[in-house]
Amino acid sequence: MLRSWFRTPLWKRVLLALALGVVAGVLLGEDAEALRWIGDLFIRAIKMLVVPLIFFSLVSGVAALGDIGRLGRIGGRALLLFLLTAFLSVSIGMILAAIIRPGDGLQITLPPGSDVPPPPETSLIDMIVGLVPENPIMAMAEGNILAVLVFALLFGAALLTAGKDGAPLVRGIDAGSAVMQKMTLIVMELTPLGVFALIAWVTGTFGFDALLPLGELVVLTYVGCGIILFGVYPLILRLVARLPVVPFYRGIVDAQAVAFSTASSNAALPVTLRCVERNLGVSNSVASFTVGLGATINMNGTAMFLGAIALFGAQAYAVELSWTSYVMIALTSTLGAIGTAGVPGAALIMMSLVLSSVGVPLETIAFVAGINHLLDMMRTVTNITGDATVAVAVGRMAGDLDLERYVSADDV
């Protein structure tokens, strides 16, 4: 029985837990409050991963550049496009959430003793100064995620400049990143229990009607990813790479299919590389560097979703957001997406980063976890398509793209 449970794909177990949680909440009513501690344990486990996962993933991603010289012609352009598309993706998610307002139907009032924390009252200047930690260890201990992100980026850049002297530490960082991804998978095994307990509590406390707005969240996610896929990426191909769009989508369709079915950028990485090199004509050096780096730090679908979920939670819990809160959401969603591991469910962890930065309760995660796989499939397609788009654009600008092979993708 236990073996059969763990052999079942996680997303199926989470959906089952969601359904059972709804049933338990309906049957138990307000008594479902007794199950909430299990959900709280799940949330604490997620929060436990955030700082080390971000640090190791980001440092490993920067160190993957190989040497500081590649930050010039290839690396600099790739990173600029990654950051630009991530910021545009966050903006799209926030705009859609502000228009559709999927959280309004919830209007949740937390029970006594669970007051909503106030949003941080920080000026823009204080926020910029606070990006540089006085003590990085203290920043990690206090959960100052933005400061940790900046330190990790600087640490990775320093490893590049250290060259051979830093090589042993790079191997250690890569090992740490691999270990944290495995640890993430282990914690994700707790997701069905956490979802069951939290959804039972939500349903028992607020009623079944509280779950209906999730449909709007699904629509928002797919529409947002669609805008990125067929709006943002074609603009990059046309304006930056000056290439036709149709051959690109015909050449990348295999990778998109794998990404949609596995909901994992890492799992789709080999197929993405094959499509970018063989179908789209990008040289091996540019493709392996750009796509490999993109699988680590380029998560546009996730960035869009994190921006949207922050507003969803704020609407659901009636949290007032100031303009500095919106800036904080944009920053944490953009940088948080960079630190998201390319494995199924990792976006759940980054939600805690974005939500906590603007005072939105982490219980928001419970509403999303049950349908996360459905959302993750489309987000992953968006992520890997972004990797391929940047690889093609950088290859074209660097003169490392076979135009005849790219155009022949029409025949793939």
Domain count for the chain, please give it.
1
Per-residue pLDDT reduced to its tens digit, 28-79: 887 888 888 887 787 777 778 767 877 887 677 667 666 666 556 677 788 8
Tell me the average pLDDT across 129-158: 80
Domain-located, residue 341: yes
Nearest to 360 by CA among 308, 306, 315, 302: 315
Q: What is the pLDDT of residue 121?
A: 54
User: Which of the four pLDDT bands, split at 50, 70 and 90, describes residue 142?
Assistant: confident
Domain-located, residue 15: yes
Domain-located, residue 345: yes
pLDDT of residue 237 exceeding 90:
yes
pLDDT of residue 154 exceeding 70:
yes
Nearest to 326 by CA among 1, 81, 87, 4: 87
Counting other chains too, the contacts that 258-262 makes at CB distance below 8 Å and 24 or more residues apart are 259/377, 259/380, 259/381, 259/383, 259/384, 259/385, 260/377, 260/378, 260/380, 260/381, 261/377, 262/344, 262/380
Tell me the average pLDDT across 134-161: 80
Tell me the average pLDDT across 10-28: 79
In the DSSP assignment, the letter for residue 264 is -
CATH of the domain at 223: 1.10.3860.10
What is the domain extent for residue 139?
A: 11-411
Interatomic CA distance for residues 166 and 156, integer angstroms: 10
Domain-located, residue 1: no
Q: What is the pLDDT of residue 238?
A: 94
pLDDT of residue 318 exceeding 70:
yes
Please indicate whether residue 412 or residue 261 has the higher confidence score (pLDDT).
261
Domain-located, residue 5: no
Please indicate whether residue 395 or residue 18 has the higher confidence score (pLDDT).
395
Nearest to 367 by CA among 169, 141, 203, 172: 203
pLDDT of residue 396 exceeding 80:
yes
Tell me the average pLDDT across 5-21: 74
In the DSSP assignment, the letter for residue 242 is -
Domain-located, residue 401: yes
Least-confidence region, from 29-33, 168-172, 291-295: 291-295
Domain-located, residue 139: yes
pLDDT of residue 98 exceeding 50:
yes
pLDDT of residue 148 exceeding 70:
yes
Q: What is the pLDDT of residue 388?
A: 93
Q: What is the pLDDT of residue 267?
A: 64
The HSE-up count of residue 156 (CA atoms within 13 Å, CB side) is: 24
Q: Which range scores top for mean pLDDT: 44-58, 216-230, 296-310?
A: 216-230
User: Which of the four pLDDT bands, split at 50, 70 and 90, describes residue 2?
Assistant: low
Tokens describing residue 272: 């993405």
Per-residue pLDDT reduced to its tens digit, 322-377: 888 888 888 878 776 665 555 555 666 677 778 877 777 777 777 777 677 678 87
Q: What is the pTM of this model?
A: 0.67
Tell me the average pLDDT across 201-206: 72
pLDDT of residue 201 exceeding 50:
yes
Domain-located, residue 4: no
Query: Which helix H or strand E contains 12, and what residues bound it?
Result: helix 10-28
Q: What is the pLDDT of residue 243?
A: 92
